[in-house]
């Protein structure tokens, strides 16, 4: 059975996978049964994907290799001409049992290619780069095959952080056993997986604190909504000639909120008035002006950072935004304001706050942190009490309570100047609509990714907000 894409799919580390496996084994399921289920699910996935006439299965020394022997036996039973290649005998008991049930020949890594190449060398137990002859054989046989399939993980991909411990071929299909691992969602490993099928091997309920990021439900206004019940967003903009980023945020927010006000310094009012229609414009020169605007407009979300600058006004507005307790998205220049001092930011957090740094901004704010992108985003969220959106091709969203979502619904066309400002506006618009900060961040990242998928080649940040109505209508 495979999980449908409508369910949030748990993402487990290698240690968590081993613990889940140990629990079901302790409860009476033999390890060999799990291996048989993994093998049967793989063969079903292969036959649905591209039925082969011949196959070569590369089996490693551990349980991933054991899965490979099961796949070899079941493919042969389905009428495929199967050969197994290995560098040595299996080393675990279930893998030995699986190998014993394979009654065909076992070759070495100089095996001839086949239509299908199955990589059962290493899975979650990989601890170092593959020996050179194994890596070369895998590259040769996967490269020569019409279809290449990885069992659990492409061999050479580090399960917990998606790093590649050497050259790893790009597979057509990866069958993940029991649950997704970070390597299925984090680059660069994710791009080596091809299509990913999650096979249920009967591990029972799994920890769901980390999952993939799902398509959000459509935020529909109530029938009797008016613009202020839909929520008002205030975006704080910078000085003359620096207003583009804040305008991008404001325009994006307006597709989700009922009203948006852009607050700019006096000198930038004329520039912005000439560039804006539906967003409202107010002069906001200092913290007092911001406090007055907040008390008059009663916004349900603020955006501070995009194009805000790094001078005294910017600092006062960032501090004033945090002090207000209004749900807040901090981006861009806000990270310079707190550079190297996340503790000061943590003390200033009063209400729901979403931080949207890319890797460079993350390092500026939090310094060098150990761990993979999931660990670092989680630590940063716990440290600051804010939701952290660590932006990249594989954006990670972390809540202070430890929940994490990994977003893969995106496209590289999003790597364009101003794209992050659009994201900040989308998240603010969703906050204004009443979502909590983690939900707003997750939904915003998904929607923003959808703009990249829809916009495709040549997408610019200016063009993104206009794609939002179609993206919303398709939810
Ligand atoms: N969890 C579940 O629910 C289920 C899990 N299942 C399967 O189990 C897999 C995990 O199995 P696993 O723990 O035996 O690890 P695996 O990846 O086969 O390799 C470990 C062996 O390789 C060795 N080794 C490592 N790196 C190496 C290198 N570079 N070069 C050479 N050797 C290297 C290592 O030896 P050592 O590091 O001690 O020298 C050890 O002997 C998992 O991915 C999935 O396929 C399914 O059967 C059913 C349900
Ligand atoms: N290769 C990529 N694939 C998918 N999304 C990407 C890729 N590169 C960047 N993005 C997304 O584009 C946005 C870029 O934001 P950011 O770096 O802040 O740009 P800017 O500062 O120009 O607005 C982020 O949301 C990021 O996740
Ligand atoms: K593998």
pLDDT along the chain (475 residues), means of 10: 62 97 97 98 98 98 98 98 94 97 92 96 96 96 98 98 96 98 98 98 95 91 84 97 96 97 97 92 97 97 96 97 98 96 97 98 95 96 98 98 98 98 98 96 98 98 97 95
- Enumerate the H helices of 108-260 as residue ranges: 132-144, 182-185, 190-193, 244-254
* Residue minimizing CA distance to atom 26 of ligand 1: 126
**Kind plus residue range of the DSSP H or E element containing 30:** none
Q: What local confidence, expressed as pLDDT, does residue 6 receive?
A: 66
* Residue minimizing CA distance to atom 1 of ligand 2: 412
Measured in Å, residue 458 CA sits from the centre of ligand 2 at: 14
Residue 66 labelled as part of a binding site: yes
Measured in Å, residue 155 CA sits from the centre of ligand 3 at: 4
Instruction: Give me the residue label for tokens 């649950």.
Output: 179
Q: Which superfamily is assigned to 14-211 in CATH?
A: YjeF N-terminal domain (3.40.50.10260)
Q: Which ligand 1 atom sits nearest the alpha carbon of residue 17? A: 1
* Residue minimizing CA distance to atom 6 of ligand 2: 393
Kindly report the CATH number that applies to the domain delimited by 232-473: 3.40.1190.20
Among all bound ligands, the one having the nearest atom to the CA of 126 is 1
Cβ < 6 A, ligand 2 pocket: 358, 391-393, 395, 410-412, 414-415, 417-421, 423, 448, 452
Whether the complex's predicted ipTM is more than 0.95 is answered with yes
Residue 333 labelled as part of a binding site: no
Q: Which ligand 1 atom sits nearest the alpha carbon of residue 120? A: 45
* Residue minimizing CA distance to atom 28 of ligand 1: 130
* Residue minimizing CA distance to atom 24 of ligand 1: 126
Domain ranges for the chain:
14-211, 232-473
- Taking the CA atoms of the chain, what radius of gyration do you get in angstroms? 26
Determine how many CB atoms are found less than 10 A away from the CB of residue 51.
14
Q: Are 272 and 264 in contact (CB under 8 A)?
A: yes
Q: What local confidence, expressed as pLDDT, does residue 121 receive?
A: 98
Site to probe by mutation for ligand 2, drawn from 414, 424, 444, 461 as the one with most ligand atoms within 8 Å of Cβ, is 414
CA of 386: how far to CAs of 51, 131, 204, 355, in Å?
49, 43, 32, 7
Task: Work out whether strand 404-406 and strand 396-398 pair parallel, antiparallel, or are unpaired.
Answer: antiparallel
Q: Among candidates 457, 398, 470, 473, which has minimal Cα distance to 209?
A: 398
Interhelix angle 419-432/437-455, nearest 10 degrees: 140
Measured in Å, residue 24 CA sits from the centre of ligand 3 at: 22
* Residue minimizing CA distance to atom 8 of ligand 1: 63
Edge-to-edge strands, sheet with 195-199: 106-107, 81-86, 54-59, 116-120, 147-151, 173-177, 195-199
Among all bound ligands, the one having the nearest atom to the CA of 118 is 3
Determine how many CB atoms are found less than 10 A away from the CB of residue 262.
28
Among all bound ligands, the one having the nearest atom to the CA of 423 is 2
Q: Among candidates 417, 412, 475, which has minimal Cα distance to 446?
A: 475
Site to probe by mutation for ligand 1, drawn from 25, 29, 60, 62 as the one with most ligand atoms within 8 Å of Cβ, is 62
Q: Which ligand 2 atom sits nearest the alpha carbon of residue 356? A: 18
Q: What local confidence, expressed as pLDDT, does residue 8 receive?
A: 87
Q: Are 239 and 309 in contact (CB under 8 A)?
A: yes
Cβ < 6 A, ligand 1 pocket: 17, 20-21, 34-35, 38, 60-67, 91-92, 122-131, 151-152, 177-178, 201, 203
Q: What local confidence, expressed as pLDDT, does residue 7 receive?
A: 74
Residue 272 labelled as part of a binding site: no
């Amino acid at each position: 059975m495979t999980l449908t894409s409508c369910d949030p799919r748990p993402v487990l580390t290698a240690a968590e996978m081993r613990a889940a496996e140990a629990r079901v084994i302790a409860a009476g399921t033999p390890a060999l049964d799990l291996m048989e289920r993994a093998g049967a699910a793989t063969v079903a996935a292969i036959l649905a994907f591209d039925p082969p006439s011949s196959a070569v299965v590369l089996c490693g020394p551990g349980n991933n290799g054991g899965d490979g022997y099961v796949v070899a036996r079941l493919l042969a039973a389905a009428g495929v001409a199967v050969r197994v290649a290995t560098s040595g005998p299996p080393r675990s008991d279930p893998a030995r049992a699986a190998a014993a049930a394979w009654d065909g020949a076992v070759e070495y890594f100089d095996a001839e290619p086949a239509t299908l190449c199955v990589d059962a060398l290493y899975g979650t137990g990989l601890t170092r780069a593959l020996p050179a002859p194994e890596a070369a054989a895998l590259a040769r046989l996967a490269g020569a095959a019409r279809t290449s399939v990885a069992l659990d993980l492409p061999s050479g991909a580090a399960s917990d952080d998606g790093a590649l411990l050497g050259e790893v071929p790009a597979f057509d299909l990866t069958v993940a056993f029991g649950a997704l691992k970070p390597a299925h969602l984090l680059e660069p490993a994710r791009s080596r997986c091809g299509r990913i099928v999650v096979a249920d091997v009967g591990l029972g309920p799994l920890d769901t604190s980390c999952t993939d990021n799902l398509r959000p439900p459509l935020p529909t206004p109530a029938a009797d909504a008016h613009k202020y019940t839909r929520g008002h967003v205030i975006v704080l903009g910078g000085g003359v000639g620096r207003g583009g980023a804040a305008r991008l945020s404001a325009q994006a927010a307006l597709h989700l909120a009922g009203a948006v006000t852009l607050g700019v310094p006096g000198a930038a009012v004329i520039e912005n008035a000439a560039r804006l229609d539906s967003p409202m414009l107010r002069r906001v020169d200092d913290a007092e002006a911001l406090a007055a605007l907040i008390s008059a407009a009663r916004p349900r979300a603020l955006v501070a950072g995009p194009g805000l600058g790094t001078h005294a006004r910017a600092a006062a507005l960032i501090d004033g935004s945090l002090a207000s307790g209004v749900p807040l998205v901090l981006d861009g220049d806000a990270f310079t304001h707190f550079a190297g001092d996340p503790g000061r930011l943590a003390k200033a957090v009063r209400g729901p706050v979403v931080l949207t740094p890319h890797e460079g901004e993350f390092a500026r704010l939090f310094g060098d942190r150990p761990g993979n992108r999931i660990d670092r985003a989680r630590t940063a969220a716990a440290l600051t009490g804010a939701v952290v959106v660590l932006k990249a091709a594989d954006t990670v969203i972390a809540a202070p309570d430890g929940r994490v979502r990994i977003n893969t619904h995106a496209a590289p066309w999003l790597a364009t100047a101003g794209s992050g400002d659009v994201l900040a506006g989308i998240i603010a618009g969703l906050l204004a609509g009443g979502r909590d900060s983690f939900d707003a961040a997750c939904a915003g990242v998904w929607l923003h990714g959808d703009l990249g998928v829809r916009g495709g080649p040549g997408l610019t940040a200016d063009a993104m907000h206009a794609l939002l109505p179609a993206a919303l209508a398709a939810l």
